[in-house]
């Protein structure tokens, strides 16, 4: 059964356009509340839900609408204010609540927003629960009688609780003293959290991207815009820089020379370190976008590797199927299931720093055995459904020609974005010039077809 509203990362869109309107979000809260209230996990007691949000100005409006819908359905609501997505997952589990809700559009611009849910165990809602919520949305919204409405309560210590949790994922007998770090919070949900985690572990921290105004989230800062981080690392003569995205579940890092390290490279450091410690539980899950060099490096290390569809939801599903603990995407989503129930940029950074500190290595030294294949990604904005372009004969032809040109020494991947109206064109191979030429040729054809 296909979803009508839920995508790979909840319900997302442009604020003011359906479904990201106060009316729909209130109805969504009500529908979710009704489904959760009859869940076996409620155990006859009033169900309770945690709401967190990032720093977008629209978060105030959507938080109020969501709160009203949940309370109308008879659920109690705990308001955590601006906190990262993984903090909502952690607090939902720690407080033994039925669900957690995040109001965020992650790395998207501030004009977008979204709603995503976590179950009581701190993981994304199962498919059957999302489908039940969608089915409930077909029913008109009403309200419980006054004597069975929910209540709202603000959690004043949410930030402090999460900071302590993050620190607990770093070895108790190790510290970050002597390490100078630049931390970029993308003017997002970690603006008042990330720097404190690393500082309290002993690092000398310079913080950028920590002045949210409701409209500047991800704007020139964060994991999707690392230019300011690279500049700050060099200017402050720091050993390492790290950037998170707007909701704090994505990570990229920079070395002292300003060189970028993506999710594949950081995942490689963590996996190799765990294998050396004898703590590699099973294998590693990547995605269709994971660099071929990563796959080959896992083979050399004797670590099993599997690819999931793009999206941390699918990485998580495959990890659970295989009973593995480590997975991630080259975009910077990294999942360490022995540390957290979801991807967490701060926790991932601490796992990388653990490896570097223990081996007395720089990022460059830790990744010297991983020679990345040149990879070009071009996002083509489209109208309508991007998936339909994959069936176009001209697109199919240019795709097939590119694969023939690579002659088995590279990959071509065309895929619709799960969160934006984009068709992503990725080409990977040994020859950088050829990869660039092929990617641009495919993107040109896609653009031409998309504008007809």
CB 205 within 8 A of CB 177: no
Among residues 58, 104, 106, 297, the one annotated as catalytic is: 106
CB 428 within 8 A of CB 291: yes
CA angle at 268 for the pair 9 and 258, rounded to the nearest 5°: 90
CB 232 within 8 A of CB 241: yes
If you ran DSSP here, which 8-state letter would residue 28 be given? Answer: H
d(CA 303, CA 321): 17
d(CA 25, CA 101): 12
CB 244 within 8 A of CB 230: no
Q: How far is CA 221 from CA 64, 203, 225, in A?
A: 28, 21, 5
- Asked, as a colleague might, if the bond just before 19 is cis with ω within 30 of 0, I would say yes
Place of tokens 């359905």: 73
Look at phi and psi of residue 81 and say left if phi exceeds 0, alpha if psi is from -120 to 50, else beta: left
d(CA 151, CA 37): 14
106 has catalytic annotation = yes
User: Distance between alpha carbon 300 and the CA centroid of its chain, in Å?
Assistant: 28
Structure tokens given for 331: 């975009």
d(CA 310, CA 305): 15
- List active site positions: 106
């Amino acid at each position: 059964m296909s979803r009508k509203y839920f995508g790979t990362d909840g319900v997302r869109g442009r604020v003011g356009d359906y479904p990201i309107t106060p009316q729909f979000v209130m109805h969504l809260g009500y529908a979710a509340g009704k489904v959760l209230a009859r869940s076996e996990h409620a155990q006859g007691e009033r169900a309770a839900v945690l709401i967190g949000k990032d720093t977008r100005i629209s978060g105030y409006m959507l938080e109020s609408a969501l709160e009203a819908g949940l309370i109308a359905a008879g659920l109690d609501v705990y308001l955590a204010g601006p906190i990262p997505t993984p903090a909502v997952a952690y607090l939902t589990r720690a407080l033994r609540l039925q669900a957690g809700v995040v109001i965020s559009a992650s790395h998207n611009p501030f004009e977008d927003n979204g709603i995503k849910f976590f179950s009581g165990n701190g993981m994304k809602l199962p498919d059957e629960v999302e489908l039940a919520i969608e089915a409930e949305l077909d029913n008109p919204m009403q309200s419980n009688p006054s004597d069975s409405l929910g209540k709202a309560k603000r959690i004043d210590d949410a930030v402090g609780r999460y900071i302590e949790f993050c620190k607990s994922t770093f070895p108790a007998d190790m510290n970050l003293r002597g390490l100078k770090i630049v931390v970029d919070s993308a003017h997002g949900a970690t603006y008042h959290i990330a720097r404190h985690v690393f500082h309290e572990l002993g690092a000398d921290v310079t913080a950028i991207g920590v002045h949210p105004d409701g409209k500047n989230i991800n704007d020139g800062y964060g994991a999707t815009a690392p230019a300011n981080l690279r500049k700050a690392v060099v200017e402050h003569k720091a050993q390492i820089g790290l950037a998170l995205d707007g909701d704090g579940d994505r990570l990229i890092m920079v070395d002292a020379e300003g060189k970028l390290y993506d999710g594949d490279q950081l995942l490689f450091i963590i996996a190799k370190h765990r294998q050396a410690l004898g703590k590699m539980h099973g294998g590693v899950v990547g995605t269709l976008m994971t660099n071929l060099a990563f796959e080959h490096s896992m083979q050399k290390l004797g670590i099993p590797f599997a690819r999931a569809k793009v999206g941390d939801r699918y990485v998580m599903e495959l990890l659970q199927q295989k009973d593995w603990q480590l997975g991630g995407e080259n975009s910077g989503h990294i999942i360490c299931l022995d540390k957290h129930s979801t991807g967490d940029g701060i926790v991932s950074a601490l796992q990388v720093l653990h490896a570097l500190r223990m081996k007395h290595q720089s990022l460059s030294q830790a990744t010297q055995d991983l020679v990345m294949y040149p990879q070009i990604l071009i996002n083509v904005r489209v109208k309508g459904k991007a998936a339909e372009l994959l069936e176009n004969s001209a697109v199919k032809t240019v795709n097939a020609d590119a694969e023939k040109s690579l002659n088995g020494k590279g990959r071509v991947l065309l895929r619709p974005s799960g969160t934006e109206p984009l068709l992503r064109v990725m080409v990977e191979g040994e020859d950088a010039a050829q990869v660039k030429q092929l990617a641009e040729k495919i993107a040109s054809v896609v653009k031409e077809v998309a504008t007809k």
